[in-house]
Structure 1
Amino acid sequence: MGLWSKFMEREDASTYISKDSEMPRVLHTKDFLALGVGTIVSTAIFTLPGVVAAKYAGPGVVFSFLLAAIVAGFVALAYAEMASTLPVAGSAYSWINVLFGEGFGWIAGWALLAEYIIAVAFVGSGLSANFRGLLSQVNVQLPASLSGALDTHTLFGWSQAVSGPKGGVIDIVAFIAIALVALLLSRGVHEASRIEVILVVVKVFAILLFMFVGLTAIHPANYSPFVPAYNPSGATMGGFQGIWAGVSGIFLAYVGFDSIASNSAEAVNPQKTMPRGILGSLLIAVVLFVGVSIVLVGMFKYTQYVDNAEPVGWALRQSGHPIVAAVTSTIAVIGMVTALIGMMMAGSRLLYSFGRDGMLPKWLGQVTPDKGLPNRGLLILTIIAIIVGSFFPFSFLSELISAGTLIAFIFVSLAMYSLHKREGKDLPEAGFKMPGYPVTPAIGAILSAWVFWGLSAEAKIYALVWFIIGIIVYFAYGANHSVLRKKTNN
């Protein structure tokens, strides 16, 4: 069989549905809403509104969030129809495998794997930094060796630009946080989803508290000019250029909705619960992001948020609300656990899918006999994320989260044309139909490609290296051990 034939060979959807039947369907709409909101509305909502306003768009950061939401919204509509038609583990990887072929599915899945691994490490490190910040307010400090990623400059002479803090050996807080969430997920999806719901409610309360208190400190003059004039030499770029530059910086905040789809094999009545969870969580997130942005830039002039890593807490303290600031910051740290739960659930299901199909060692595709949990995939994800997040610096790879996700978004948008041809024939009828078809999938793909093009050159290079590694893994292992290939040869 030729290389192109291998790439184009498609899996039967019924095979996935049969294999995934060992995973119990226990997740309802509220669980998916919590997973989505918990993953999307994470660290970014407490930092990005101020950072993007100061660097790019001024009060026009509101438009940046809305434009990023529009791009994500087109893709979310495609995800909603895909998940209602093919409610299987692995989301884009499995869908593309069925609709385009095994090789293309592997590329999409490999892209998502980068997102999940780096996102878990990124959130773990962010949680650690904020937690240590809270400890410092009560004069408690961890030793330098336990406070950050490995100091590669000291140990190996590598560039300090990619090193951890001086004297760092391991980020112990990130290590513990990731390990504890893995332990929680290994005990059961239902248990984890209940904790997720509680934490999301608490986090949303903290956001609403900030908005309510912040409204009392708004000065209308801070909104003028709402869209600063374009000035490439200034701190704020301004104009449409600044608003669109903000979209590329903000888009990272919205990518979490795709993680919900990886758990569709565990959804109760997925034809209804998946679209509601995907679209509902994105809509809630948009409202919260826009609300925080409007309040934040109204409290103080956007130029005061330059190089401010904690704009929400700073604005509350400066306006005379230190207690509310402390409560909000504390809940923000706790709330980051929700993003860890969502990303680790999605990543472990993706690794399970790779093992299920023989693209990686088959033992990854086995679930626990008692609860049907993909704990082997969870173990591997946890180990890799702990290594990346606790021992090695990864800030120079952070944009790879967006790069990998956007590539998967393009695949899913284009796959809608193949899906529609097969619905009601060899595939089930969708429980949700993407409005505006056939125009909307093309818009989603084009907008995703546009945002991808706006990423930094470094992000594109890292994405290219990651995909070269993925192609090597595919031909060196996956193409030779694929369950689909063995079935075809027999």
Structure 2
Amino acid sequence: MNEFFRKILKREDPSVYQVKDAHLNRTLRVKDFLALGVGTIVSTSIFTLPGVVAAQHTGPAVALSFLLAAVVAALVSFAYAEMSSAMPFAGSAYSWINVVFGEVFGWVAGWALLAEYFIAVAFVASGFSANLRGLVSPLGVELPKALSNTLGTDGGVIDIVAAVVILLTACLLAYGMSAAARIENILVVIKVFAVLLFIVVGLTVIDLSNYVPFIPEHKVTETGDFGGWQGIYAGVSMIFLAYIGFDSIAANSAEAINPQKTMPRGILGSLAIAVILFVAVSLVLVGMFTYSAYADNSEPVGWALRQSGFGIVAAIVQAISVIGMFTALIGMMLAGSRLLYSFGRDGLLPSWLGKLNSKGLPNRALIILTIIAVIIGSMFPFAFLAQLISAGTLVAFMFVSIGIFGLRPREGKDIPMPAFKMPFYPVMPIITFISVVLVFWGLSVEAKLYTLIWFIIGLLLYICYGVRHSKKRNNEKSL
């Protein structure tokens, strides 16, 4: 038994990952990571969550929830920046925690992120579908309910649009990083233009009375806490998923040029841009119409513009936003496939997932990610997916924030000295960890329950398969 625990707690030698990931082509620059981060963060969420959260939890104070969530995300991003600068490995938190705390903890962090990527891809695809259908509905183009709604929702069987867009994105990524990065950069610029267009046009029809009272009186509704600081807190937990895109940057750090400088600039820069855009959109949206008008509305931005008489602008913004959602799918599917590749690389999942094709791409992992995301995205409701993304991500963020304590003593020794360090060590990592725990605690009971079930499945899989097939232990036996 002691030998068993010694093995699962054994920390990976960072030089092993440097060798294993050496065959991944380093082609990504700061501009590519900024585009990847902004494209992933400023995605479905900015066009959907402000209205949904305002109606369910915060009222006009939705901007405060976005700001508070941004503060927590910023704290985590500092830890991510240091980790990715010191250890630019594929798999992000999974590989880092494997190095600083040991394999079993790395598996738990990676398993949490795997839930994030599976569900996030499905979530973005679901938002893409809702916005595309909202865009074409004025033209009289409507799909049957069986093909436009998820299983069991209003007569739905499968969201066919969500399934198709995931497949199309996978086909693009299968061709390689360079082509995906070029398309990502172009689409991000176009998407930011759409966000700015909405803000400028929306400001012309703001009704200041819609902001009063800014923080409604607290009450408990069918959707949980509404109003007061309780509602704002509930909004933070739901909104946090909007900021998780910087993890997708870290997951691709093994393909970064000069990662010591590229990674911190990409992570911190993309988050700063995203925060400004999210707060501005949320303030404009609740100023255009009373927050209750956005209840059960999965495309509030387009709806608000159409109701305000800006049908052409709505069509332009929604058309660009729909196209721009490809950027989020690119980012999430890139990161998710790299994580699956990392599990296969280390033998914790079938080793064929860790195989690369002739172009040095983990397309086997991409195929598995695509299949699972299609099933989830086309069959599970949009609101259900939102909180589950946050749950898995927050667990991984807990590990990364506390992981700074395992990383810092080894920097300049067996781990290179990073170009960026988390400020105010050791106080900030502790504050970050507590903040993430508080956000996690604010999730719904269902989200926490499903997260618990996911981790039980993950631990059983690790004990039954990963422990026996781990390449780390197999390499030890061969010595």
- The normalised TM-score by structure 2 is 0.95
2:257 alignment partner, one of 268, 276, 289: 268
Distance 1:225 1:140 in 2: 39
How far has the Cα of 1:393 moved from its partner?
A: 5.8
What is the distance in 1 between the residues matched to 2:450 and 2:440? 13
Q: What amino acid sits opposite 2:412 in the alignment?
A: G
Which residue matches 1:407? 395
Q: Deviations over 1:396-421 (max 9, x none)?
A: 45422111100000000000011000
Q: Give the aligned residue type for 2:370.
A: T
Contact residue 349 and residue 466 of structure 2 kept, 8 A: yes
Counterpart contact for 2:125–2:165, Cα < 8 Å: yes
Equivalence for 1:194: 182
Deviates more, 1:74-83 or 1:466-475: 466-475
- Is 1:458 the counterpart of 2:459 in the alignment? no
* Matched residue, 1:330: 319
Equivalent position SS for 1:435: coil
Amino acid at match of 2:134: G
Rounded Cα–Cα distance in structure 1 between residues aligned with 2:145 and 2:222: 36
Q: SS of the counterpart of 2:172? A: helix
- Matching residue's letter, 1:4: F
Counterpart residue number, 1:319: 308
Q: Out of 443, 466, 471, which is 2:459 matched to?
A: 471
Which residue of 2 is the match for residue 147 of structure 1?
148
1:213 pairs with 2:214: no
1:388 partnered with 2:376: yes
Q: Are the equivalent residues in 2 in contact too, given 1:81–1:275 (CA < 8 A)? A: yes
Cα-to-partner distance string for 1:11-60 (whole Å, 9 max, x where unaligned):
11111011101000000111111111111111111122222223322222
Q: Which amino acid aligns with 2:3?
A: G
Residue deviations 1:366-421 (CA, integer Å, cap 9, x gap)? 2123x211111111111111222235668645422111100000000000011000
Partner of 1:179: 167
Q: Does 1:103 align with 2:100?
A: no
Q: Does structure 2 conserve the Cα–Cα contact (< 8 Å) formed by 1:388 and 1:394?
A: no
SS for the counterpart of 1:22 is: coil
Alignment match, 2:236: 247
Deviation at 1:165, TM superposition (A): 4.1
Q: Is the Cα contact below 8 Å between 1:355 and 1:363 reproduced in 2?
A: yes
258, 261, 269: which one aligns with 1:280: 269
Provide the rounded CA distance (Å) in 1 between the counterparts of 2:198 and 2:87.
40
Counterpart Cα distance in 2 of 1:412 and 1:362:
26
Distance 1:126 1:284 in 2: 21
Question: 1:89 is paired with a residue of what secondary structure?
Answer: coil
3-state SS of 1:460 partner: helix
Q: How many residues align?
A: 476
Q: Distance in 2 between matches of 1:84 and 1:96?
A: 14
Q: How far apart are the structure 1 equivalents of 2:103 and 2:211?
A: 51
| Residues 136 and 267 of structure 1, relative CA distance in 2, 3 Å threshold | same
Q: Alpha-carbon deviation of 1:222?
A: 2.7
Instruction: Give matches, 1:44-443, under 5 Å.
Output: 44-150=45-151, 163-166=152-155, 168=157, 170-232=158-220, 237-369=226-358, 371-391=359-379, 396-443=384-431
Please say which of residues 435-444 and 392-401 is displaced more in the overlay.
392-401
1:88 counterpart SS class: coil
Give the structure 1 partner of residue 40 of structure 2: 39
Query: Mean alpha-carbon deviation: is it higher for 49-58 or for 343-352?
Result: 49-58
SS of the residue 1:137 aligns to: helix
Contact 1:22 1:367 in 2 (8 A): no
Cα distance, 1:233–1:455 mapped onto 2, change above 3 Å: closer
One-letter amino acid of the counterpart of residue 113, structure 1: L
Q: Contact conserved, 2:163 with 2:377, CA < 8 A, in 1?
A: yes
Alignment match, 2:432:
444
Structure 1 residue 296: deviation in Å? 1.7
The code of the aligned residue for 1:140 comes to: V
Of all paired residues, the percent bearing the same amino acid is: 65
Q: Which amino acid aligns with 1:190?
A: S
RMSD value, Cα: 1.8
Give CA-to-partner distance per residue, 1:154-202, whole Å, 9 cap, x none: xxxxxxxxx244252x332222211111111010101001101111111
Name the CA shift for 1:120/1:4 in 2 (closer, same or farther; >3 Å): same
- The alpha-carbon deviation at position 233 of structure 1 amounts to 6.0
Q: 1:158 maps to which residue?
A: none
- Contact between 2:78 and 2:268, CA under 8 Å: does it hold in 1? yes
Secondary structure, aligned partner of 1:21: coil
Which amino acid in structure 2 is aligned with residue 23 of structure 1?
L
User: Which amino acid letter does the alignment assign opposite residue 55 of structure 2?
Assistant: A
Cα shift readout 1:240-269 (whole Å, capped 9, x = no counterpart): 222212111211111122111100000001
CA distance in 1, matches of 2:173, 2:388: 25
Contact kept? 2:122, 2:376, Cα under 8 Å: yes
Q: Which amino acid aligns with 2:347?
A: G
CA shift for structure 1 position 284 = 0.6
Conserved? CA contact 1:53–1:302, under 8 Å: yes
CA distance in 1, matches of 2:312, 2:31: 31
C-alpha distance in 2 between matches for 1:50 and 1:176: 26
Confirm or deny: 8 A CA contact 2:127 2:382 kept in the other structure.
no
Return 311-320 or 348-357, whichever deviates more.
311-320
Given that residues 39 and 339 in structure 1 are in contact (C-alpha distance below 8 angstroms), is that contact kept between their aligned partners in structure 2? yes
1:13 corresponds in structure 2 to: 14
Q: Which piece of structure 1 moves more, 465-474 or 137-146?
A: 137-146
For 1:452 and 1:444, the matched residues in 2 are separated by: 12
Q: Is there any run of 5+ residues in structure 1 with no aligned partner, and where? A: 151-162
TM-score (norm 1): 0.93
Greater Cα shift, 435-444 or 120-129: 120-129
Contact 1:397 1:459 in 2 (8 A): no
Q: Which moved more, 1:73-82 or 1:54-63?
A: 54-63
Q: Distance in 1 between the 2:74 and 2:15 partners?
A: 29
Could you tell me which runs of 5 or more consecutive residues in structure 2 were left unpaired when the two chains were aligned. none
